[in-house]
Structure formats: C-alpha cells, structure tokens
Structure 1
Amino acid sequence: MLTFVIKILIILPCFIKADDEKFFYLPDDLKIGISSSSYQTEGAWNLSDKSPSIWDVYTHSNIDMIQDKSNGDIAADTYHKYKEDIQLMKKAGFNHFRLSLSWARILPTGFADKVSQDGVQYYKNVLDELHANNIEPIVTIYHFDHPDALEKVSGWLNETMVEAFADYARFVFSEFGSRVKVWTTINAPTFLCNYGYGSGTSAPGLQMPGVGPYICVHNMLKAHARAYRIYDEEFRKTQHGQVGVVVSCGHFFPINKNDTESPDIAYQYECGWFAHPVFSNKGDYPSIMRKRIDENSKLQGYPKSRLPVFSSEWIKYIRGTYDYLGLNHYSSNMVDSVEKDEQTGWYDDSGIIQSVNDSWPSIGSGMKTVPHGFSGLLRKIKEEYNNPIVYVMENGVADYGHKLNIIDFERVNFYYSYMKEMILAITRDGCNVKKYTIWSFLDSFEWGRGYTERYGIVYVNFTDPNRSRTPRQSYYWLKYINNKRNLLSLEEFNNQ
C-alpha cells in the first residue's frame, strides 16, 4: 500500500500554486511532532482493571449526542497497535509525540488507593518504545477523561478535585518522570469547562451555562498550579523536566478596521481566561472579565459574582506556574462589540459577538483557513506575556467522511500556509516558538463529531477489525519537511 501511495504522489496534478519561489527553512531549534489523546485513540475501554471514564459513560448513555452514534470503545486501538504506530512516526522523522494518560487506566477510583499495575506498565511500554526509536514523548496528564467515579461527586465543580488531581500528578511524576522531560498538566481547560459543564454537549454533559464553566476553570487553575508546584518542589532537581499547560486560542479580527478594543476583549475571554492567571505579570483573571461578569451577575440578581474570586495567596501561587505555554490553534473569527443593555447587561458576559469572514476559504470540515491569524495570535502572546517559550501542541484540519481519502491536498496546503506564518512569526517577529505539533497522527474519535471528522495524516479504517492504517499524502509531505527542513508548497513538493 505504501508503494502505491508514493506512485500516486508522483503523478498527482498540481492543485496548489506556490505563492512565491522562496524555500522556507525551518529554524534549527524548531522541532516538529505529532499528537493524539488517550480516549480518542486507545480503545481497550474496559480492559484489565481500568474504570469507566466520563467519556465512556457519556457516549454509552447519550448515543444521540454523538453525530454518528459512535464511541471510543475500540477507536484506533492504539492500546494494542502502538508499536506499529511508533514505527510510522519514526519513518516520517517526527521529533516528538504528544500523548495523554488515561487517569481511569492508572488510578481506577480516581485516587491513589488503588493502582492499576497493568495501566502503569502499558504507559511505561509506550514511553520505552518511543525512546527506543528516538522520539521524544510529551505527556499530557489530563485530556478530558477523568474517572467517572470522580464525577459522581461533581467532578471539576467540586474543589476536592484539586487535590485529587494533585495526587494523580504526583503519582505519574514518580512513575514516569525518568522517561518524560516535557509534561502538560491539562489540555484546553476552557473547552472542557464550556462544553462539559456549560452547554452539556461534551462529557460529563452538565448544562450549567454562565455558572458551571467559571467554577470548572477556577478549580482547574488551582489543580494546574498544584501539579506544577509539586513537580517544582519534589521532582525537578532529579528529573530536570518542564511543566506547562495547554490553552486553546483563536485569533480575532475587528469587523470595523479601527476597532482595537473588540479583538482584545475576545482574546481575554477565550484565551486570557486561563492564560492571564498563569502567564501574566499581574496574575488573576483579566480585568475586563472581572468587571463585566461582576456587573452582569449583579443585574441578574446573584448575591455575588458568577466568576469566582481568588484569594491573594492563590493569585500568587498560580502566577508563574509554567516552563512553556502550550497552544492549540485552528482558526480565527471576526468580532464586534455590542453595547451594554441596562436591563440585561453585557451580551454573553463579554459584550462581543463573533462571526466568520465569508471571504476566507473554507476547507473540508467547514472550518475557515486563516493562516495570518496564526501569526497574529503568536504576536499577541508575545506581547501579552513577555514572549514566553511556546509549544504549539495542536494545529490541524479535518475532512469529512469514511472514504479512503489519501490525496489530502487541502490538508497539505493548510499545513504549508500555517507553518509558513509560524516561521515568519519566529524569524521576522521574534516569537519564541520551539515546537510545532500536528493534530493529529491518526484519524480519531473527535468527541461530539465521532468519526465523521478525520484529522489524521494517517487514515484508519474503522470498519476493519484490525483498524488498518494508510498514510495520507500529508504524511509524506511532512516526512519530506522533517528530513529536508525545507517548507515546500504542494506544487514544489510534487516537482521534487
């Protein structure tokens, strides 16, 4: 099959024209990697003594909430096929692989009273296999899938979750720290909090808009800081690793070209909500969030703000808990301000309405391609947080359908245009980006979209009991980029 695909690439017509004749060279210290997460790919949902996670329960109990009524019971079956996958990563020359741990596979009750030795050994095997093939593991401790046992006591709405997570983090630092030098505490906290505890369209499926997300993020900020401080005080001297957190951020352009306020407010509500307490010099929530949510809460009759308040001790404890800023970025939006209504307050708590620009090209998944938004976001992060080290942990694009779509020229063009903007942000603007990570390595269970969206540079046949893999054109394009360190358009690549 691999030979067949290579032959296709040689004769493929040039769908995309290069916008110039320059060869873009990747900076020497920029590392290119690939990513996945536990629930989305592992399968083996009830193997050994693993307990159900919130996503196991959610997909089994809310089948109509998943677009194709699927689940992650088997997924891509990386639990059994990780060696095959790591060989594909090695052949493509990826520097690192970002994976996540399943809390329920390691500590089935959510606490350290019961340890799954099978679960611990599984991850040790994966990490050892990565090292044997010269691929750096980047390990996310929590990627949306805590044990359902913890959700029975309200999960992230309960402050006891902070210490449960801290104990879990201490355990994995102890067990895997000799094998891991880059840790992520929590992936995209605001995503889980908004959809899991706000709209209810993701696990655990609670509908508490305007309240649940703020409590959830508040506790996640404390949990992240606890994990970072534990590593800093108990493990850093012997393990010499890095700890960060991953925020999911879009970029924002004003509908009215002279409007500089709306894009900043939109940024603070989406990205600054979690990033400002950790990465800013001042700490705490962005002042615009505090002001407007306080005002809305009062108008709505709440005795206190729906946005919780940190003590001065917690502000200090959370501030500066990073060795790098992890970034997930996919697309951008247009924004405009809505005036405050004296009766109902600020629209959507922010006073900002978002839309898309119809002139931006759409791609297979319906998402807009806005590469200059990526470089704009990187510059914004540089300005906001004194140019921190940035590890891009997710950037990618999906196509629809179950067909064997190997010639994914739209995906290649997406990566080319976004990587080009990233390189310009580094070389021209001085942004401190050190890692760029593709989402995703394999086709995966994409949460509420199930398997209807395919992000993988490797196609997975989910109707095959063996979950056969077929590398797409984007895999071979990235293999070339990794080996030659030249950023080529599809046309240039096909002419090689």
Structure 2
Amino acid sequence: MLFKKQIMFLLFVLCVNINGISGTVEDYTDDILYGSFPEDFIWGAATAAYQIEGGWNADGKGENIWDVFTRKDGTIIDGSSGEIACDSYNKYKEDVALLVKLNVTAYRFSISWSRILPNGFGEINPLGIQYYKNLISEVKSSNIEPVVTLYHWDLPQPLEDLGGWLNPDIITYFKDYSRIIFTEFGDDVNKFITLNEPRQTSVKGYGTGEFAPGVQGIGDKSYISAHNQILAHAKVYHLYQNEFKESQGGQVGISLNIHWAEPATDTTEDILAAERYMQFYFGWFGTPILLTGDYPEIMRSLVDDKSSQQGFLTSRLPSFTPQESLLVKGSTDFLGINFYTTDKVSNLDEGVDEISYFADDNNIQFQDEDWYNSGSSWLKITPWGLRNTLNWLNQNYPGYDIYITENGVSDKQGNLDDLTRIYYYKHYLNQMLRSILEDGLTTVKGYFAWSLLDNFEWSSGYTEKFGLCYVNMTDPERRKEIKASGRFYQKIVSANGFNVETIC
C-alpha cells in the first residue's frame, strides 16, 4: 500500500528530473545565475556555545554533559575538549568585530543552559546572565540582529543525572529555563530557536552514544528522547505566545537538520525508499511540529509493525495524546534548516532481527564516490541537493518562512586560502538563489553560514574546521583571521547576490 506522501514524492522526483533540478557531479560547473536576493534577505553566521565559548567553569557556570563526556577516554578523536575552545567567553568582542568585517546582518549563537542555571534548575547565576547581556549589547550596537538558540546540545549534567531527555520532567525544566531567557533577553532578541537538530541529540546522544551524554539505545531511547524534545519545544513555543509575544513581539522557531535523499535508481522502489528516508530523517520532527501533530504515517506504520513482530507490548515509537497533538501541531513561527549534503537511497527490507532506528525505515543509504569530498567523511559536496530540499519542503510543509540556519563545509588543514570552501559557498548559495528566482520560493528568508569560527567539532575535536575565520588553537590569545572564504562570503553579502565582481 502506498501512502499519499510516497506517491507525492514519486511525482516530485519525476518532476525535478524532467526540469533539470536534480544533478550529479557533472553539474559542478561555473554556470552561475546572476541576480539578487530579496532586499530584506537576512545574511548571518552561526556558532554554538560549547564549541566556541570555553570558560567551562568560569563565573559560576555549572557542568554540562560535554564537560563530562570529553573527559572520558576515547570519546573525542584527538582527546580535546571545549574547556577553552575559541575563548569567546573572554573574547566575544573580537567575534563581533569579525561579524562586522563580514558585513552580515545577523548572528546566530546559543546560550549555555549551565551558565544560566548551574544545576539546570533552581538558583540563577547572575554572572551568566550578564555575559549574554554584554554579548547581545555588543551585537546590537554593531547593527547585527541576535538570533538566539536556547539549546545546542549542552544539557546541564545534573539534569542528565536525572535521566536527561529520557525523563519527561525535562519538559518542565526546559520550559522554566526558557522563561528565564525570554524574561532576561526577550526585549532585545526578536528570534529564538528552541532546539538545534533534535535528531542528532536523539540518534547520537541517546542512540549510538557517539555524542554526549553517550547513552546507547538506538532502538528505543532515541525515539523517547525525540518525543520529549518535541513536547518540550511545543511547551516553550506556547509559553512565549501566552506570556511574552504581546509585549516582545518576537518569533520562536526550531532548527531541524536534513539531507537530501537521492533515489539510487529511477525505479519506483528506490524513489519510494528515498521518501521514507526523508520522513524518518526530517519528518520525524517536521511532520508533528509543522503539519499534523503526529508522526509521519509511514514511520508510525513501520515502527508499530516491527515492534509488534519483535515482541514489544507497545510500539517503540511513542504516541502523542490528543491534547499533546494539538499542542505540537503548528508550534513554530518559522522553520530553521541545517543542510550540508546528500545521500543516495536504495530500498532494502531489513526485517525485524535488528532493533534499531536505522533498520526501521527499510532503506540503505550511501554517497556517490564521484561526489566531491570534504574534511568530514559524511559530508560530500552536493549543491543541487539544497535546491531539491527547498522545493521538497515547500511542497510538503508549505506556509512557513524558512531560514537556512546552518550550511558549510569542513577541511582538515584550516588554511587561509580555503578554495574548496569558496567553491562550496559559491555553488550552494547560487542554488539557493535559483530556488528563489527560478522556483519562486519566496519563503526562503535568510541564510547563516556554519561557522563563523574554526571550533570544537564535537567528537571530531579540532580535526575538522568549518570556519569562515581561522582560529589559532595553540596560541593562548586564540588569534583569529578571516579566511579567503570569509572574504568571498562578504562579497556575496555586500552585493546581496551574484554579479561578476562577487565571484571573481
């Protein structure tokens, strides 16, 4: 039986292939569309607290799960941590000065929950509040809009000791923390993002254990942590609407990561497999929040059926109550998208022997060996995937303004003459321009490059560099310098688009 969304995806793939949107490595040419983005288009750069701040125990900050996780043997490839990182806790003015040089109009950064509430709840740390007040003031005085992420993976360790995102009480803790953030900073911040990539928290933090807190439970705990994150997001969204929206007039959204799924062949089986991949990857969070208040039909069907065959009394995929569905449905003012790369997907009936999120979708995914490499094994350079993704989102989740809240590429060297990164931005940004000018996607409102700085790249430590700006991690002063890619990005931003001068 084909679900409605699978049929729609089959038609969508056929359409984009006919119209030449989809592509392969042969499409990597210098055929650039010259044109301008909308006048009010937002240009930004993004960072995350644990990756850049350092000051891990400064001025009353409590421990978070990454402070603890990085001290365990074998968790970080180079044995490093974010205890100092880019030292942005002390050098945030240098970061803002770089933003000014890049000529961006917005800065997306996250707040460290443990810096505000050292125990995750209870007593507020006034020095933590003051740090972010200082940062926001510096950003705004530079005519840059602060975009604040409430949670970017650094849960206070005392809350993890209580079960973390597996404990439904986390919903209340997150709501209480968020109320403090809205109260203290809401008059100066117009856009808040509740959660960054809750899928990664669920799959890697509470599934494979590759990320903090290192919990393994890919067949059940991943689904539970996702469920609690969705409910926590919805509660915080409605908190803002009910208590802060009228006086502050801001917006609350969420950032979800997504890969484009390219069918491995043009068979109906692989085309439908690619749609399943999109639903298990993005729809897991996007469909409840943006569309129905419930999980995608295909996800519900497959996990329920496999759970039953595996002997579970109830599905491994939790259910929303009718009241929870009403709370979740439509609980965002905008959609943040973190997009980097593309996967090829083939149909594969994986049966019921393996109890795993990865086996539940009956797919196998891989990347084409001809696609260009980056400094990360998972990140192949596929600009056309961004345009396909934006069109797919517009078709399946219409009615929301979209901000690309992360997009960028890694290398291993951190060179100042980072030509691969220039290539990446040139073609990804041009595909975004094509989606607006040629496909009519006027809902694409802004773009944030990942990342402003070379920083602590989670379990890869400092071995992978994503920055528009170089940071000398062996220098106690953490000297920073704009790379060639940063200067290229500055030209695109200043021109608000592509002309002969911007790409030379």
Q: Any idea what the Cα deviations from partners look like across 1:34-67, whole Å, max 9, x if unmatched?
A: 000000000000011111000001001x231101
Distance across 2 between alignment mates of 1:342 and 1:45: 44
Are 1:307 and 2:307 counterparts?
A: no
1:26 maps to amino acid: F
Partner of 1:454: helix, strand, or coil? Answer: coil
Are 1:385 and 2:397 counterparts?
A: yes
The 5 Å alignment of 1:464-483 reads 464-483=475-494
> 1:438: which partner in 2?
449
Partner of 1:290: helix, strand, or coil? Answer: helix
2:475 maps to amino acid: D
> 1:5: which partner in 2?
none
Distance across 2 between alignment mates of 1:271 and 1:21: 29
> Shift of the alpha carbon at 1:255?
1.1
Distance across 1 between alignment mates of 2:503 and 2:388: 30
Q: Any idea what the Cα deviations from partners look like across 1:66-118, whole Å, max 9, x if unmatched?
A: 0110000000000011111101111221010000000000011111x200000
Q: Any idea what the Cα deviations from partners look like across 1:253-297, whole Å, max 9, x if unmatched?
A: 1112133311111000000000100001x2200011111111111
Per the normalisation by structure 2, the TM-score is 0.91
Structure 1 98/21 Cα, relative in aligned 2: closer, same or farther at 3 Å?
Answer: closer
Worse-superposed segment, 22-31 or 417-426:
22-31
- Two-structure CA RMSD over aligned residues (Å): 1.6
- Find 1:358's aligned residue among 369, 374, 389: 369
- Find 1:187's aligned residue among 187, 196, 207: 196
> 1:76: which partner in 2?
86
> Shift of the alpha carbon at 1:494?
6.9
> Shift of the alpha carbon at 1:348?
0.5
Partner of 2:300: helix, strand, or coil? Answer: helix
- Find 2:124's aligned residue among 115, 120, 127: 115
Distance across 1 between alignment mates of 2:232 and 2:352: 37
2:302 maps to amino acid: R
- Find 2:40's aligned residue among 29, 32, 35: 29
> 1:408: which partner in 2?
418
> 1:58: which partner in 2?
69
Partner of 2:454: helix, strand, or coil? Answer: coil
Are 1:92 and 2:83 counterparts?
A: no
- Find 1:427's aligned residue among 413, 417, 437: 437
Q: Any idea what the Cα deviations from partners look like across 1:370-417, whole Å, max 9, x if unmatched?
A: 11110110011111111420011000000003xx51001110110110
> 2:339: which partner in 1?
329
Are 1:368 and 2:380 counterparts?
A: yes
> 2:18: which partner in 1?
none
> 2:230: which partner in 1?
221
Partner of 1:48: helix, strand, or coil? Answer: helix
Distance across 2 between alignment mates of 1:344 and 1:146: 30
> 1:133: which partner in 2?
142
> Shift of the alpha carbon at 1:26?
2.2
> Shift of the alpha carbon at 1:430?
2.2
Distance across 2 between alignment mates of 1:343 and 1:220: 28
Q: Which runs of 5+ in 2 are unaligned?
A: 1-27
Contact 1:104 1:110 in 2 (8 A): yes
Partner of 1:453: helix, strand, or coil? Answer: coil
1:392 maps to amino acid: I
Q: Any idea what the Cα deviations from partners look like across 1:186-237, whole Å, max 9, x if unmatched?
A: 0000101110110011000011121111000000001000000000000000
- Find 1:196's aligned residue among 178, 184, 205: 205
Partner of 2:405: helix, strand, or coil? Answer: strand
Partner of 1:329: helix, strand, or coil? Answer: strand
Contact 1:459 1:472 in 2 (8 A): yes
Distance across 1 between alignment mates of 2:493 and 2:43: 7
Are 1:174 and 2:174 counterparts?
A: no
Partner of 1:72: helix, strand, or coil? Answer: coil
Contact 1:97 1:135 in 2 (8 A): yes
Contact 1:24 1:420 in 2 (8 A): no
> 2:277: which partner in 1?
266
> Shift of the alpha carbon at 1:339?
2.7
2:439 maps to amino acid: D
Are 1:239 and 2:248 counterparts?
A: yes
> Shift of the alpha carbon at 1:128?
0.5
Distance across 2 between alignment mates of 1:351 and 1:159: 29
Distance across 2 between alignment mates of 1:387 and 1:233: 22
> Shift of the alpha carbon at 1:19?
1.9
Distance across 2 between alignment mates of 1:317 and 1:263: 30
Partner of 1:144: helix, strand, or coil? Answer: coil
> Shift of the alpha carbon at 1:300?
1.3
Contact 1:254 1:263 in 2 (8 A): yes
> Shift of the alpha carbon at 1:18?
6.6
Contact 1:27 1:423 in 2 (8 A): no
Residues paired across the two proteins, number: 472
> 2:409: which partner in 1?
397
Distance across 1 between alignment mates of 2:109 and 2:384: 28
> Shift of the alpha carbon at 1:22?
4.9
Distance across 1 between alignment mates of 2:114 and 2:428: 35
Distance across 2 between alignment mates of 1:340 and 1:415: 37
Are 1:484 and 2:495 counterparts?
A: yes
Are 1:278 and 2:286 counterparts?
A: no
> 1:255: which partner in 2?
264
Distance across 1 between alignment mates of 2:173 and 2:34: 50
Distance across 2 between alignment mates of 1:391 and 1:198: 28
2:474 maps to amino acid: T
Distance across 1 between alignment mates of 2:301 and 2:58: 49
